[in-house]
Chain A
């Protein structure tokens, strides 16, 4: 055999070792699902990983277990479509103020607190010329279009917390004595 073939043997040896390594290395569930190599070439186990990602926003039903009074109140109000977690889930961990450790006792993973700043209310109620002017709420079984309440935060009692006068859970004014 001519010496000229020797580099080819080296190449073949490298190729074979790559193939052998590949057989050992690549998980057996790495397939082109449905034969769709273009869009479904992946590890099947990854789908399960995403399905088992923990759910964090559990919605009103979760809060209702303890706070049924407030939840029922808000359901009848103009804030009926606003979820508890919209205002009470805190993105700054320091603001956590829920008395019961929800994480240990209920497996609830969000930080819950009370946010009283005007900034929170302004997210919906600051008047912008291009904000939708109406809002649909349901009363009983009928849907009703109402005017969407917006204020100019620079003129509407600046410097005062909204909750001084407004009752968020009934979407109305605070009644005297409460």
Chain B
């Protein structure tokens, strides 16, 4: 046993010829990081569809998906914290940013987006906050008072201003959310040494998968949340979300297949090792889990006529798993091919925590991280009425009527 294990040696199995310093340096945390930011972007886009495009049937999920997006956003940087070997130096990111680096602007993009989401949440929940601040006493009252930012103006005129600002913020938020995640795609796409990552399509591939995962995440969380509370679930909302999911699924499938077809067609020197990766070593992960169960099967399930709640739930859950697998395949798969093009590195995640590093790199912190947004959502729901604004059957019937009349008008 070596006294000082090289960073990466714990979870990298080398095969064939790999360079001495070659390890899988970006591990599970970097898999989870784009996964969470993707969910952030997708959830936000969904909420904006109600605020900006006036999709009435999405009203019951609009507030929830906005707060969900925020909960996810709060956790988005934590995998990076676990990934950095010098986490206490991470403040340098904003102290001495080097903008020639694709990741230097991360804090700025992240904080800007955070500001937009926070502001939108503030405006959306302001009437409730003001009301609570006036009614509640004690610690909770103080909290609500602080959250009002000193403004108790809930006159009709003020609320009208709020509505306009929400619309603007939601509209600005869409490109910001897309930028946040497209930017994460760019961070990978611009690594010139990793052939699997280096494609100008990467930002768009990431963006599409982000939106499908975000929408699917909202469908799953909404259905589970409502079922747990024994609330009525609006079929019109689910159907509308599924429609969004279908469109972006198609876009994701198109983009990802173009990428692979392009590599196969141009067949550059790395294609022989890349095809070995795609069709042998990662065949199950990539072709079965990511493509078949993560994209094609849900698409078929959603396109079959007479969509049921269960089918929507299953498709969304499959998409969530498929997108996670896609992040894994991109991050780990990209590093699995040795840059010598003559060897492979296999990622073997340390399951049993025999050391602090093994614990940090193992499945435990990641599970906690992925569950944290749900826990945060639970907490937020205690303070703000995230789920309370739900459709009853009558409202839902009304929107369904609207939808069917629209469809009738089309035919």
Contacts and interface: CB of A to CB of B under 8 A. Distances in A.
Instruction: Decide if A and B are genuine partners.
Output: yes
Interface of A: 2-4, 6-7, 9-11, 14, 18, 21-22, 25-26, 30, 37-38, 41
13 contacts: A2-B158, A2-B161, A3-B153, A4-B165, A6-B151, A7-B118, A7-B119, A7-B122, A9-B149, A11-B119, A25-B95, A26-B95, A30-B96
B343 to A, nearest CB: 21
Interface string B55-80: 00000000000000000000000000
User: 4 smallest A-B Cβ distances: which pairs?
Assistant: A3-B151, A7-B119, A6-B149, A3-B153
B162 A4 contact: yes
Nearest to B151: A3
Nearest to A23: B95
Given A3-B158, A26-B95, A38 B100 contact: yes
B161 A18 contact: no
Interface string B85-114: 000000100111010100000000001000
B70 to A, nearest CB: 14
Contacts of A4: 123, 161-162, 165
Contact of A7 (B95, B100, B149, B158): B149
Interface string B249-282: 0000000000000000000000000000000000
Interface centre among A4, A11, A21, A38 (most CB of B within 10 A): A4
Contacts, number: 38
Interface in B108-141: 111, 115, 118-119, 122-123
A100 B115 CA distance: 66
A6 B150 contact: yes
Contacts of A6: 149-151
Contacts of A41: 96, 98
Nearest to A10: B149
Main secondary structure of the interface of B (DSSP, over half): helix
Interface of B: 91, 94-96, 98, 100, 111, 115, 118-119, 122-123, 149-151, 153, 158, 161-162, 165
Contacts of A30: 96
Contacts of A2: 158, 161
A26 to B, nearest CB: 5
Contact of A37 (B100, B118, B161): B100
A18 B153 contact: no
Contacts of B165: 4
A109 B119 CA distance: 60
A3 B159 CA distance: 10
Contacts of B119: 7, 11
A4 to B, nearest CB: 5
Contacts of B98: 37, 41
Nearest to A32: B98
Contacts of B123: 4, 7
B33 to A, nearest CB: 23
Given A2-B161, A6-B149, A18 B96 contact: no
Given A4-B165, A22-B95, A11 B115 contact: yes
Nearest to A1: B151
Nearest to B118: A7
A7 B118 CA distance: 9
A25 B95 CA distance: 8
A21 B95 CA distance: 8
Contacts of B153: 3
Contacts of A25: 91, 95
Contacts of A21: 95
A30 to B, nearest CB: 6
Nearest to B107: A18
A22 B161 CA distance: 36
A9 B98 CA distance: 27
Nearest to B165: A4
Contacts of B94: 18, 22
A22 B151 CA distance: 31
A7 B149 CA distance: 8
A26 B150 contact: no
A38 B98 CA distance: 8
A6 to B, nearest CB: 4
Nearest to A30: B96
